[in-house]
Amino acid sequence: MKPLWQWNLTDIVQALHRGEVSSEEVTRAFLERIQALEPRIHAFLHLEPEAALHQAREADRRRAKTQDPDTLPPLLGVPMAVKDVLTVRGMPCTCGSRILEGFVPPYNATTVQRLLDAGVIILGKTNTDEFAMGSSTENSAYGPTRNPWDLSRVPGGSSGGSAAAVAARMVPAALGTDTGGSVRQPAAFCGVTGFKPTYGRVSRYGLVAYGSSLDTVGTLTQTVADAALLFPYLAGFDPRDATTMDVPVPEVVLSQEPDLRGLRVGVPREYFVEGVHPQVEAAVHAAIRHLESLGAEVQEISLPHTPYAVPVYYIIAPSEASANLARYDGIRYGPRIQGETMWDIFFKTRGRLFGPEVKRRIMLGTYALSAGYYDAYYAKAQKVRTLFRRDFERAFREVDLIAAPVAPSTAFPLGSKTQDPLAMYLEDIFTLPANLAGIPGLAFPVGFDQDGLPIGMQLMAPPFQESRLFAVGHAYQSTTDWHTRVPPLHP
Amino acid sequence: MLSREEVLHIAYLARLELTEEEIEEYRKQLSAILDYFERLKEVDTEGIPPTASVLPPRTVLREDEPQQGLSREELLANAPDVEDGQFRVPPVLDW
């Protein structure tokens, strides 16, 4: 039998239901794994091992006592981790920033509350680029997370802590957030499955705001089936988030038969261009051929505005951020750098406690929204955003799904892009369009490069068609084994 | 290329104190980024409406019923300076 820490979420849930393992055994297995590997990986910003074990024993007692197991919370006693930009009542929430050091939120994010209601045990909070601004987790004020496949490389970002924790099998699943690729790109770099829902599908209440028209809450798991298992618990209308849509959440039933006959898969030519690493391109093409071998019809499509994704996103997201981050003023939460006047407090607290990338984006957004530049930057970017939506609307009249690389390259060495912010932004080109259009995406491993680093492919679907992503991703994983590979880490 | 004065003006609008090194670094980096953004001018957006949100425009209302909110203690618990159940700050206005 595989050691418990290698089990995926679906296996753990089933084994707990059948009484084959206890929550305490499962929780302890992951906590031991964390203890052994955390000094090398630094996936976490906060851990509560004692509280977690206490909850696990509580869950086991509850399960032992019940007459009717069907009345138990369905995920009772399952350990998970949460990215540190989502609030968990009573656990510090820093967003990877000094400006929120010591902040302990008095309420749960809706996604967190729903997981807790389903019985989940939260082991801790995972590392992130400061306020989710970054593609490598190097922008965390508390030090970078390392890629479990190669400790000299980044795990991707901004949900790098969650992705690395799942890849290193320190937790079976974690919440992440995706504003411009922050779930899918670290999933690709770490060889795990990253799911980003449709904008409006999952509540953002309790998610510390970055780019409000783009932010989504997603999952990092070992498998597509695990992502599909969690989805119904996270999705649905929330009276506390007016951007959630009151549309039914379909029950996800994954077929045992990997039959993709009748499925039309579009391959956008703009995602296979100069600058994409040949091994990434080859692995993604092979994965697309694999979908074809399962019966899918593959055709080339065009998403002509793709080359403009970086300027559009890096105007809109920083503009929204510059407004959202105005709330950090040293008055209501977080530390204060004292000054003579209130203005002094604002300038000093914000200037000294925000990190370099956050200040850069606040300045970029402030500039784009300032008098004289609004039309040339912000208004222009919003119009081109409309063209991104139209690109996808046109494509989805011809195909059911789009398949493409997640990122142009595999995980890069720590420090290799930190001096050149534009080079870092350009890494995001293939994940940004799904956020600009608000559509769902699913990233999963489809191979490894010659250095043994994972390569990811992403599927994109029309709004609210997450089930389609799960069905196709699951068909792929039930006929391949890339997702079962574990990084060679020796405790 | 942004001028030093422009960088200082943006930092003033955003209420960010910057060091001398930061002013020079941001001047170079933001200029390079804005130069790259120039390519957006290639895109014809004549007659294209802006997208502020991907969701259909709609009004979300709820029943106007009183609900229990967070307590004063919970809300003040994270503040760096508190007095008499309120946030404490230096004088906002000079008089």
Ranges of each domain in chain B: 4-42
Tell me: the pLDDT tens digits for A328-363? 999 999 999 999 999 999 999 999 999 999 999 999
- CB-based contact A422 B36, cutoff 8 Å: yes
B1 touches chain A (CB under 8 A): no
In sequence order, what are the beta bridge partners of A457? A405, A444
Spatial neighbors of A97 by CB under 8 A, at least 6 apart, are A130, A131, A141, A353, A354, A355, A358
Nearest-CA distance A37 → chain B (Å): 32
The answer as to whether A306 is a domain residue is no
**Any idea what DSSP says for residue A304?**
T
Q: Going by DSSP bridges, is the β-strand pair B82-83/A454-460 parallel, antiparallel, or unpaired?
A: unpaired
pLDDT at B62: 87
The answer as to whether A217 is a domain residue is yes
A414 touches chain B (CB under 8 A): no
CA A124 to chain centroid: 16
B55 touches chain A (CB under 8 A): yes
**Other C-beta atoms lying within 10 Å of the C-beta of residue A117:** 13
pLDDT at A411: 98
Predicted TM-score (pTM) of this structure = 0.97
Per the annotation, the verdict on A2 as an active-site residue is no
- CB-based contact A243 B36, cutoff 8 Å: no
Q: What CA–CA distance (Å, rounded) separates A426 from B49?
A: 26
Q: Is B94 a residue whose pLDDT tops 80?
A: no
Tell me: the pLDDT tens digits for B59-89? 888 899 999 999 999 999 999 999 999 999 9
- CB-based contact A370 B37, cutoff 8 Å: no
pLDDT at A473: 98
pLDDT at A252: 87
The token pair that represents A61 in the structure block: 């007692």
Q: Give the position of tokens 């609900």.
A: B67
One-letter amino acid identity for A139? N
User: Which of B2, B9, B15 would you mutate first to test chain A, the one with the most A CBs within 10 A?
Assistant: B15
Q: Phi/psi of residue A189, each to 5°?
A: -65, -30
The answer as to whether A361 is a domain residue is yes
One-letter amino acid identity for A84? D
Q: Which of residues 186-215 of A touch B (CB under 8 A)?
A: 199-200, 213
B95 touches chain A (CB under 8 A): no
Nearest alpha-carbon partner for A198 in A474, A471, A466, A473: A466
Contacting residues of A for B89, CB less than 8 Å apart: 331, 342, 345
pLDDT at A491: 66
Helix (H) or strand (E) holding A443: strand A441-448
Contacting residues of B for A320, CB less than 8 Å apart: none
Contacting residues of A for B13, CB less than 8 Å apart: 366, 370
A344 plus A450 within the same structural domain = no
Whether the ipTM is more than 0.90: the answer is: yes
One-letter amino acid identity for A47? L
Q: What CA–CA distance (Å, rounded) separates B25 from A287?
A: 43
Distances (CA, A) of A429 to A114, A185, A195, B29: 32, 11, 18, 19
What is the number of structural domains in chain A?
A: 2
Tell me: the pLDDT tens digits for A275-285? 999 999 999 99
The answer as to whether A149 is a domain residue is yes
Across the interface, of A105, A330, A384, the residue whose CB is closest to B40 is A384
Low-confidence ranges of chain A (pLDDT < 50): none
The answer as to whether A368 is a domain residue is yes
Q: Is B95 a residue whose pLDDT tops 60?
A: no
Do residues A202 and A113 make contact, with C-beta atoms less than 8 angstroms apart? Answer: no
Catalytic residue among A136, A159, A162, A182: A182
A52 plus A114 within the same structural domain = yes
pLDDT at A164: 98
Is the CATH code 3.30.1490.190 the one for domain B4-42? no
Tell me: the pLDDT tens digits for A362-400? 999 999 999 899 999 999 999 999 999 999 999 999 999
A77 plus A161 within the same structural domain = yes
A319 plus A261 within the same structural domain = no
B82 touches chain A (CB under 8 A): no
Nearest-CA distance A360 → chain B (Å): 7
A328 touches chain B (CB under 8 A): no
Q: Is A464 helix (H, G, I), strand (E, B) or coil?
A: coil
Per the annotation, the verdict on A158 as an active-site residue is yes
Across the interface, of A307, A308, A389, the residue whose CB is closest to B54 is A389
Contacting residues of B for A392, CB less than 8 Å apart: none
B93 touches chain A (CB under 8 A): no
Nearest alpha-carbon partner for A129 in A387, A471, A421: A421
Do residues A336 and A349 make contact, with C-beta atoms less than 8 angstroms apart? Answer: yes
A15 plus A143 within the same structural domain = yes
Residue A453 burial (10 A CB sphere; 0-12, 13-18, 19+): buried
Last residue of a domain, one of A381, A416, A431: A381
Contacting residues of B for A334, CB less than 8 Å apart: 78, 80
A350 plus A239 within the same structural domain = no
Catalytic residue among A158, A159, A322, A467: A158
Q: Is B58 a residue whose pLDDT tops 90?
A: no
- CB-based contact A382 B90, cutoff 8 Å: no
A67 plus A11 within the same structural domain = yes
Torsion of CA A425, A430, A435, A438, to 10 degrees: 170
Do residues A92 and A125 make contact, with C-beta atoms less than 8 angstroms apart? Answer: yes
Q: Which of residues 3-32 of A touch B (CB under 8 A)?
A: none
The answer as to whether A440 is a domain residue is yes
Interface A-B, measured as beta-carbon pairs within 8 A, has a size of 153
- CB-based contact B52 A213, cutoff 8 Å: yes
A233 plus A377 within the same structural domain = no
- CB-based contact A359 B80, cutoff 8 Å: no
Nearest-CA distance A385 → chain B (Å): 6
The answer as to whether A291 is a domain residue is no
A375 plus A252 within the same structural domain = no
- CB-based contact B79 A331, cutoff 8 Å: yes
Contacting residues of B for A336, CB less than 8 Å apart: 80-81
- CB-based contact B51 A315, cutoff 8 Å: no
- Which parts of A291-400 are beta strand (E)? 297-301
Residue B82 burial (10 A CB sphere; 0-12, 13-18, 19+): middle
A107 plus A202 within the same structural domain = yes
Do residues A361 and B4 make contact, with C-beta atoms less than 8 angstroms apart? Answer: no
Distances (CA, A) of A318 to A302, A367, A369, A460: 28, 10, 10, 24
Torsion of CA A236, A241, A245, A247, to 10 degrees: 30
| Parent domain of A377 | 311-381
pLDDT at A368: 97
- CB-based contact A370 B13, cutoff 8 Å: yes
The answer as to whether A301 is a domain residue is no
Nearest-CA distance B15 → chain A (Å): 5
Per the annotation, the verdict on A182 as an active-site residue is yes
